[in-house]
Amino acid sequence: MGTDEIAASSPAPPPRPTGGTRDLVLMLVLTFTTGIVDAGGFLAFDTVFLGNMTGNVLILGMGAAGAHGLPVFSPALALLAFIAGAGVASLFLRAGPAGWSSRLVSVLSVSTVLVAVTAVLTGFDAGDHAARLSAVGLTAAAMGMQAAAVSAGVVVCGYVLAAHAGADPATSV
């Protein structure tokens, strides 16, 4: 059996995704952003998590049970805004093509604008209660939109991560 016959009989390697490094970098940036927003929200906005809602559910439960000193309104607002942002973004993304698309870029752009508006709101008057509540709502909605964007691209990103790890993406995802 010659080398040509061996090469012809071996299976072709799976195709590498285009823009794989871009997707990996995007996932890392979104993860870092969520962590920074969560830490900032917790420290600046009266014990409210803005990026991950599990902590808010815990705080709401303890606050509803009567624990002293825990807020109830701000975590509830963050939770509702996150759900609204994720829901609207999911519906918008579902209507378009799967994977990287102009719709995904739009969702991430609007999310970025909402976080920027929050920075402006808190920069002008960080002590104003209405500005703080608006900042909680806008930022939580933006993080919900990011979560929907990640969920919409999870198959693409899983494929990229498996390919970077050296695994066969066709069987790893």
Asked whether the predicted pLDDT for residue 169 surpasses 80, the reply is no
Residue 108's pLDDT band (cuts 50, 70, 90):
confident
Q: 3-state secondary structure string, 101-148?
A: CHHHHHHHHHHHHHHHHHHHHHHHCCCCHHHHHHHHHHHHHHHHHHHH
Q: Does any domain span residue 11?
A: no
Tell me the average pLDDT across 88-116: 87
Task: Tell me how far apart the alpha carbons of residues 156 and 150 are, in angstroms, rounded to a whole number.
Answer: 10
Asked whether the predicted pLDDT for residue 93 surpasses 50, the reply is yes
Asked whether the predicted pLDDT for residue 43 surpasses 90, the reply is no
**Total domains, the chain:** 1
Q: Does any domain span residue 5?
A: no
Task: Tell me how far apart the alpha carbons of residues 126 and 144 are, in angstroms, rounded to a whole number.
Answer: 23
Q: Does any domain span residue 3?
A: no
Q: Does any domain span residue 6?
A: no
Which residue matches tokens 């299976």?
A: 11
Residues above pLDDT 70, as percent of the chain: 75
DSSP code per residue over 31-84: HHHHHHHHHHHHHHTTS--SS-SHHHHHHHHHHHTT-TT--SHHHHHHHHHHHH
pLDDT of residue 36: 86
Domain that holds residue 69: 19-172
For 11, phi then psi, to 5°, come to: -70, 145
pLDDT, one tens digit per residue, over 27-41 is 788 788 888 888 888
Q: Does any domain span residue 49?
A: yes
Q: Does any domain span residue 85?
A: yes
Q: Does any domain span residue 7?
A: no
Which residue matches tokens 């998590």?
A: 49
Q: Does any domain span residue 1?
A: no
pLDDT, one tens digit per residue, over 52-78 is 898 899 988 888 888 888 888 899 999
pLDDT of residue 90: 92
| pTM for this prediction | 0.73
pLDDT, one tens digit per residue, over 127-168 is 778 888 888 999 999 999 988 988 776 544 444 444 444 444
